[in-house]
Chains A and B, each alone.
Chain A
Amino acid sequence: MVSSADAALSTSDSDEKSRRDFLLVATSTIGGLGMALAAWPLIHSMNPAKDTLALSTTEVDLSPIEKGQSITVVWQGKPVFVRHRTADEIEQARSVSNDDLADPESDEDRVQKAEWLIMVGVCTHLGCIPLGQKSSEPKGEFGGWFCPCHGSHYDTSGRIRKGPAPKNLAVPGYVFLDDTTVKIG
């Protein structure tokens, strides 16, 4: 009689067990999901805040920049190079074939107006600021910019030509508000 009672118990036991298993898996899945969702506000709070985002455009007056001169403006805390290119520099940038480029991109795709080269002055390797903005600074082997940190050379279109950087200097979104004013961002 004991054995039959045991048998009855064990069937209901295993039945109970699979239900319990289901409940266990279901509650821990939902619980885990809830924990993950609760973590999101904490993580997202570390993303740029609204006031940081509000500073995301910069207007630049181009009129004082002579041909062959560059200025550096601050956009989102980063330097942006604005270069008034000479005809020589444009010519040099456009005569390069894509085969010679590590990150192929034609000069035409990198500028809206040929004489105005606008790009983020942050080396795509590890974030240093390349030299070449002032006439006294080294411009590298391709007459553009040279990053002193790990030796990346950029050409007169800001394209990577030599060194460890993987990409060309980034071109930010910008619009010409009129002939001498540009809005970056």
Chain B
Amino acid sequence: MSSSPIEFKNPVLKWVEYRLPVFSFIDSSVGGSYPAPRNLNYWWNFGSLAGIILAVMVATGIVLAMHYTAHVDYAFDSVERIMRDVNYGWLIRYIHMNGGSMFFICVYIHMFRGMYYGSYKEPRELLWIIGVFILLAMMATAFLGYVLPWGQMSFWGATVITSMFSAIPYVGDALVTLLWGGFSVDNPTLNRFYSLHYLLPFVLFGLVFVHLWALHVHRSNNPLGVEAREPEDFIPFHPYYTIKDLFGMGVLLIFFLGFVFYAPNFFGEPDNYIEANPMVTPAHIVPEWYFLPFYAILRAFTADFFMYWPVAWLMSAKLAGVLAMFAATLILVLLPWLDTSKVRSNKFRPINKQFFWIFVADCLLLGYIGAKPAEGNFIIIGQIATFYYFFHLVVLVPLIGILERPKPIPESISTAVIKSAE
């Protein structure tokens, strides 16, 4: 495992390297001088895949911005013009539209991978926490972007989400007026959402940079959760993982472009092809699929929900729902400390492994409930699933860490991987 910087023979590279060591920086970040655990599996592809999607979103977004008009009278028509008249406009917009969904697919898998293999544990807590903030920034960006086409779902999604802030006591209404720049979602709102939608991806880039910086300090976790120490635990990132990431990118692009070309509106809502009308609310307001679990948590909080009772004297059910929705994401910041087990990987945690999958199923169930109307059994199921979400993270995870007896852990990656192969 060579960690000494590489020598350049090319005089131009040499000249630049002497003045700005950019090539050795690349080499030590994603090149042959960056040591990676030798046993990373395909679940480790999704971080780089998310990064690729971010680049695709920025590239297509910059071009879309050249054709889009952020005004309530023109926004919808300008998007239709992109679809019909602008050369390849349909392709660029469909890539951008479906790219949002792909981004969330990659990031959610990336996060569940981190949870399964305990990648958030010491010394990678901050790496994980930065990741949670990346998710928050992504959510904000996606929400703002969805408003821009100015369809019915854009408008009413914006109205519902911004109205949440009115639940805050005392300053709520003033805050919503500040967000809107008026007394309802209107032209000032559209303009500032466009401005922020263009800004936030750069914030995301910054966060991703810090995320990678933290990653490179202690390097990748691995499926065994045993820290890579010996030289034989590592292989160079290039060419082994560059080629693996490229292969993963090929698979992702087949999946991604399959939607773009054959089912471009699969993730969309037909109502968003109706221009925004502030006087008519669509029968069912549904957020994009990646917000559905959080939407279910928001709606679970009604006056008769038992999780609301302890705080009923303090706040309205509406405020409790809004807080719970934000808490559902923010609580992940505490996960490194909620998990009391010293063992990282679920490979060696027989009990926790089962509860991990129940938790995944619970998140999917919340997503299903979020898409259904808030009536009858859907409310009850949504409330139970909401309870379980928090119960898992706050009660089960710490408890299992204490009570569970993990399986024996291998001494090192090389003993586990190489010896078993022999």
Contact A164 B184, beta carbon cutoff 8 Å: no
Kindly specify which of A11-19, A33-41, A93-101, A124-132 makes contact with the partner chain: A124-132
- Bound CA–CA A77/B162 (angstroms): 15
For B359-388 the 0/1 string (1 means CB < 8 A from A) is 000000000000000110000000000000
Considering the complex, which residues of chain A in the window 23-50 have a beta carbon less than 8 Å from any beta carbon of chain B?
43, 46-49
Q: Shortest Cβ distance from A166 into chain B, in angstroms?
A: 4
Residues of chain B lying within 8 A (CB to CB) of residue A135: none
A129 to B152, CA, bound (A): 13
| Inter-chain contact B374/A151, CB cutoff 8 Å | yes
Contact of B182 among A77, A126, A127 (CB under 8 A): A77
Interchain CB contact (< 8 A) of A128 among B156, B162, B177, B178: B156
Asked whether B299 is an interface residue with its Cβ less than 8 Å from the other chain, the reply is yes
Which single residue of chain A is at the shortest CB-CB distance from B163? A127
Task: List CB contacts (< 8 Å) of B306-351 with chain A.
Answer: 316-318, 321
| Cα–Cα, bound, A129→B278 (Å) | 9
B164 near A52: Cβ-Cβ < 8 Å:
no
Interface size for A (C-beta < 8 A) is: 27
**A77 to B317 CA separation, bound complex (whole angstroms):** 27
B160 touches A149 (CB 8 A): yes
In the complex, whether A183 has a CB less than 8 A from a CB of chain B is: no
Contact between A149 and B178, CB atoms less than 8 A apart: no
Asked if B415 lies at the interface with its beta carbon under 8 angstroms from chain A, I say: no
**Among candidates B156, B279, B302, residue contacting A74 with C-beta atoms closer than 8 Å:** B279
The answer to whether B181 touches A125 (Cβ under 8 A) is no
C-beta contact mask, A38-76 vs B, less than 8 Å → 1, else 0?
A: 000001001111001000100000000000000010101
> Can you name the residue of chain A whose Cβ is closest to the Cβ of B183?
A76
A interface: dominant SS: loop
Per-position contact with A for B169-197: 1 when CB-CB < 8 Å, else 0?
A: 00000000111111111101000100000
For B379, the closest partner residue in chain A by CB is A151
Q: Is the CB of A149 within 8 A of B285?
A: yes
- Asked if A127 and B318 make an inter-chain contact with CB atoms under 8 angstroms apart, the answer reads no
Would you call A148 an interface residue if the criterion is a C-beta within 8 Å of the partner chain's C-beta atoms? yes
CA distance A4 to B226 in the complex (A): 59
Contact B281 A78 (CB under 8 A): no
> Is B280 in contact with chain A by the CB < 8 A criterion?
yes
Asked if B283 CB lies within 8 Å of chain A CBs, one says yes
Q: Kindly list 5 other residue pairs between chains A and B, CB separation below 8 angstroms, not including A46-B192, A164-B303.
A: A47-B177, A47-B178, A78-B184, A128-B159, A151-B375
The 9 lowest CB-CB distance pairs between A and B, nearest first, are A76-B183, A77-B184, A127-B163, A126-B160, A127-B159, A128-B281, A166-B316, A129-B281, A126-B163
16 residue pairs bridging A and B, Cβ less than 8 Å apart = A46-B188, A46-B192, A47-B178, A48-B180, A48-B181, A48-B183, A56-B183, A76-B182, A76-B184, A78-B184, A79-B278, A126-B163, A127-B163, A129-B281, A148-B281, A149-B285
